[in-house]
Amino acid sequence: MAQVFHPAFNTISRVSIFGGAFIIASLVWVSGCLYRSSYATEAFVVRDQPIPFSHKHHVGGLGIDCRYCHTSVEESAFAGLPPTRTCMNCHSQMWTDSPMLAPVRESDRTGVPIRWTRVHRLPGYSYFDHHIHVAKGVGCVNCHGRVDQMPLVSSEATLYMEWCLDCHRHPERAVGPREEVFNLKWQADGDRQEVGRRLVAETHVQQRTDCWDCHR
């Protein structure tokens, strides 16, 4: 019987098969990297704001408590954004002629709120309640990072479902003393996991992973 294909085609076929598998594996790997990159998650991306408000200066430098501006964080799902009058409590006395703060003065004069650019954004089908996390001892730093070291705030977490579930499955990694929730510098006195497990038991934190908890 006459040979239809040259023997070299055996090598070409093998290279094609292994080459195709390698290309597919590479595409999967690149897609995974892109999925978790800052381009997709927008983590560590600094957003333009109408005023370059520095948490590093106000929180880290002046020691202003989170609750001074985010007044509803202990009692509602939304942490709250400060009205312009909160800014003017200080800036009606200091930096009164600063060009950088002109939008603040204009907002106070006209009553039109400042339109801040949101940094941490969850999908509309996801539900997150700040106050229940605060009540259970989950410190701000677990989700927002060391904002006291950020001249301009950016998200430090992907906010993907897998990130939320990891915390819900291992709450001992995030739960701390209730009185230290707003202390961004708090460190456990001893083994962090052991301290966390003790506090989880004391505050009756449950490992809730039901779909309904976040998708209502």
Q: Does residue 42 sit within a domain?
A: no
Q: Does residue 46 sit within a domain?
A: no
Same domain, 159 and 70: yes
Same domain, 66 and 77: yes
Question: Among 166, 171, 167, which residue's Cα sits nearest to residue 197?
Answer: 171
Same domain, 124 and 171: yes
Same domain, 136 and 63: yes
**What is this structure's pTM?**
0.82
Asked if 147 and 59 count as a contact pair (C-beta separation under 8 A), the reply is yes
Range of the domain at 151: 55-81+119-214
Contacts of residue 165, defined as CB under 8 A and 6 or more positions apart, other chains included, come to 209
The structure tokens 């003017």 sit at 88
CA distance 84 to 88: 6
Q: What is the pLDDT along the chain (216 residues), one digit of tens a residue?
A: 556 666 665 677 677 777 777 788 888 888 878 877 888 888 899 989 999 999 999 999 999 999 999 999 999 999 999 999 999 999 999 999 999 999 999 999 999 999 999 999 888 899 999 999 999 999 999 999 999 999 999 999 999 999 999 999 999 999 999 999 999 999 999 899 999 999 999 999 988 899 998 998
Residue 152 backbone zone (phi > 0: left; psi -120 to 50: alpha; other: beta)? beta
Q: Which of 115, 133, 165 is the last residue of a domain?
A: 115
Helix locations, the chain, DSSP H: 8-35, 38-41, 55, 66-69, 84-91, 102-110, 130-135, 141-144, 161-169, 192-203, 211-214
